[in-house]
Structures are given as C-alpha cells and as structure tokens.
Amino acid sequence: MKFDYQDIFLYLEDTPLLFTQAYFWIFFAAVLLLYSFIYKNKPVRNAYLLFVSLFFYWKTSGFFFVILLISTLSDYFLGFKIYNAKKLGIKRMWLAASIFVNLFLLVYFKYAYFFTESINEVLGTHIEVMNHFAHFTNVLYDTNFRVDAILLPVGISFFTFQTMSYAIDIYRGELKPVRSMLDFGFYVSFFPQLVAGPIVRASNFIPQLYEDYHLTKKEFGMAMFWILNGLIKKVFLADYIAVNFIDRVFGNPTSYSGFENLMALYGYSLQVYADFSGYTDIAIGVSLLMGFRLPKNFDSPYKAVSTGNFWKRWHISLSTWLKDYLYIPMGGNRGGSVFMYVMLSVILFFITLIAASLWVAVGLVTFVITMLLFARFIPIFRTWLTTNINIMLTMLIGGLWHGASWNFVVWGGLNGVGIVVYKLWRKISPWEDKSTWYKRAWAIFLTFNFITFTRIWFRGESFEKSAQLISQIQHNFNAAIIPEVMSSFWKVFLVMFIGYIIHWLPTWFKDWYKEAFVKTPLVAKIFISFITIFVIYQVMSADMLPFIYFQF
C-alpha cells in the first residue's frame, strides 16, 4: 500500500496518536529533535510545544480540537476579568461565567444522550440528539461532520477540570493570570497528560514555563524507567489479560461460571490499575525528558488500609481536585454550607433523571428532609450528618464524573459508604493499630476486596450485566470446574499473579531496582530499552486497546 505523506497532517480515525503505537514514538523523536535546537529560548520553546500539543490533539480527536480551543480561550480572558474585578460580586459573576462555559461543554458532550433519553422517558417526548457544534462547523467551513451523533471528545473531563481550577485559584487570590495566551494554551494542552491526566494545577505547572531547562543524569534515567514501566504495565499486564479473558467475561457474564466471573473481577482490578497508571507513568517520563515535572498520580493503591486511604493513593490528581474544589467548599469535616445544599440538589436531580421516575424523586426528597429534621434537633447528629453528606456527595460526583448511569452512581456511592463506615468502625475496632504486620495485612486484604467488589459497577457494560455477574458468582460458582478453568487460562492467571506480586512488593525493593536501572551506564540503558520495546511489540495484541480513561 502506497504511503501518502499528506496523511501525516490529517486526522485519521483509525490511527490516533497513542503511547503504544510506533507512530507516536516517531512523532516524539521528531519533536525532541527540533526541541534540542530551541529549548534554551523559553518563549519559543513554550510556543513550539503549544503547537505540537495542538497537533497531537488534532491527530487524536480531529474536530474536537475546536472544543479545546474554546475552553482555553474562554478561561484565558475570564481569568483576567476575575483578577481585575474590584468588587466581590463582579468577581463571582466572572467566575460563574468560567464555570458555566466549562460545565456546559462537559455536560453537552458527556451527558447529552443521558439528558435527552431521560426527558423523553419522563415526558413521553421524542427529542433527538443533534450535534450543534458539528452543524455550525459544516455551515461555516463547508465540512461534512455528522450532526446526528455526539461523540465524547478525548480528555474533555481532564482539560475542563484544569481550566476550572485555574479560574477558581485566581478568584481565591492564590494565582495571578498568565499574561501570554501562548503560555496559557501550552499549560492547558500539554500533550503527554492532555487526554488522560494527571490533572495538573496551574500553580504547579505554570511556574515551570519560565524556568530554564534542566535535566540531571538521574532524571534522564528516571524518565526512561517510567516510560518502560508504563509500556510494560499497559501491554504485558492490562491489554494481555483484557483481550484474553476479562473482556470476554464482562461482555457476557452468563456464559461463564461464577468462578470465572470472580477471576475476571480480580483481573479487572489489576487491568484498570496497570492501564491507567501505565499511561501516567509514560506521561511523567515523556514530560521529564522535555524538562517538565508532572505530579504523582498513583501510590501503590492496593496497599491501602481503608477506603479513604485508597483514595489518597488512587488517581491522586482527581482525588485532591475533588477535595479542594468540592469537599472543602461544601464544608468538609466542619459542617455544611450553601454550596453543599446546591450540590445535594444537583445529585438528587441526576439520580431522579437516571431513575426516570418522579416517585424516586419524592422518596429521595422525603428521606433528605427527614434526616435534616433530625439534624436540626440533635446537634451531635447534625455535625455527623453534614460531614458525611459532604463525603457522600464528593464520591457521588466523582462517580458521575466518569459517566451518567446507575453503574457509576452505585460505584461512587459504595466508595462513599466505605469511607463513612470505616470512620465509625475505626473508633471501636480492635484492629485499628496497624503496627503489627498481620493487622496491616488484614486491613489491606479487606480494603482491596471491597474496592474490587465496587468494580462490578465500574466495569459493567450495563446495570443488568453487573447484576448478572453477581448472580453468577452467588448461584453458579461451580467449583468443580476450577482445575479446568485454571488449565485453560493458565497464562492469564500467571500474568495476574505476577502483576499483583509486583504491586505488593515492598517499597524499598521497588526503589532498589528503580535506582539500579538509573545508575546503569547509558549504553546499558539503551540496550535494556531496546530489548524491552522489542519484546513488547512481539507480544502486543493485534487489536491494540485504547487506554481505559480515554473514555472519561
């Protein structure tokens, strides 16, 4: 087949720029080559990486490139409006405008089908979804984008959260607006973390734009280590067990025994961790080679001793974002606020739409009013209730951030319940002292199994299939076929076993082999990298899977 060099600059849906494709690494090598000539000139360097990042997003998402530009330009100008406003009311008005623009884009693309289907079901209407952005582009530029479907822009949940935090930090007086539009655009669109995080705060990243490039020999070794580590996680662990076992079971739970469903559930806990942390490992390594430091996003989450501790180790950039911009403004552990009641109303509205029933709304409102009446007359209960409402709301919003469905409501709600219940249990638990190894191991075991249990709804393709998976485990476990299943899928289970063993290795041991790689001579690093990449591409599945968090 003849290669058309024009394809390099066109958006081709079947060839997006993914970290697992050789095409990406050719692209990155070309970027680094030119970067090596301009990296000392900071304005030129930043402008260059901005245009590289925009090109990356164009190749990854095509038309949605415009959505990224809208979000970037609106918050760039609104940031100045917020900062320069003299009166608090005016500041709030401009902040509200920023939040509205970002949430409108997020809701329109992520929840349009959900709202349309809910309204049609409740009111008996027949409203059809129309992509107004595509229609506008077709009229303006004579393009041919589909107007009868709304697809989700890759990374929209990440870059809208970044721009919102920028505006909020300016409003709080914690940040000054970025003067250069190019610099701000670079912050929003920096390509290694653009489509799946970590969510980068302006206060942490923007100061790096004005620093001289520096990369020590040790940091270079660390960058190579993280890239290789991420590729191994993605290809050897996540994709292999997904293609050969997990996707089959979750796609049709009733065709497999309860034991197979249970093993697929444990496998998915490993897959989602290896996939998502693998992406951020690569993003951190690629960024470091260009002189930029991204925040840590995972800290051995399956070593957590409680659900709350898990969320301090898992997707740290999202967890801290929700804490700083939702949980604390709602009152945190101090009590309630007006914002808490606003968010409570939003959550009740979403759940009512998901249920598509006014009776659900009546039941929820009755329950909430009853709880608030108890809180009004019992001060101790009021403090407990408002604090835990804030926790539950934060986790439910975290669930809905992933998608509007009963599956994500249940998943977020269960994680909230896990945190609330543990807060009560630790006051009377004889196991709370984790100084002995067996108590700590027991806490890790319970937490890991609870988190894995919640994955039933996170991974389930529908609420019905999640229910089928539970039913199979409960009523059709079929222990007699375990030897046959183990024999048939022994390679998958071996990879799962190795993956979990590596995850639960002591931190000191992981630091040791990481440092050992960093200290090897450059020639050895190149040789190890070459062998690793060669093996990766030999075992890579023909159907390369996109990173899981691209869908969010």
Which residue numbers are catalytic? 402
Other CB atoms within 10 A of residue 296 CB:
12
CA distance 455 to 469: 11
Cα(434)–Cα(509) distance, rounded to whole angstroms?
Answer: 21
Mention every residue, 6+ apart, whose C-beta is less than 8 A from residue 206.
Answer: 175, 178, 183, 184, 187
Q: Of the candidates 421, 393, 386, which has an alpha carbon nearest to the alpha carbon of residue 306?
A: 421
5: region left, alpha or beta (phi > 0 left; psi from -120 to 50 alpha) = alpha
* Cα 33 to the center of its chain, rounded Å: 31
Closest CA to 108 of 61, 60, 71: 71
Closest CA to 297 of 272, 270, 324, 278: 278
One-letter amino acid identity for 79? G
Q: Which helix (H) or strand (E) holds 340?
A: helix 338-355
Rounded Cα–Cα distance for residues 78 and 92 (Å): 11
First-to-last C-alpha distance (Å) of the chain = 35
Q: Tell the burial category of 320 from Cβ atoms under 10 Å away from its Cβ (0-12, 13-18, 19+).
A: middle
Are the C-beta atoms of residues 184 and 218 closer than 8 Å to each other?
no
Cα 74 to chain centroid, rounded? 24
Q: The tokens of 454 are what?
A: 């919640």
Look at the block and give the residue holding tokens 């897959």: 271
Residue with the two structure tokens 């940091």 = 219
Residues 217/218/220/225 CA torsion (nearest 10 deg): 150
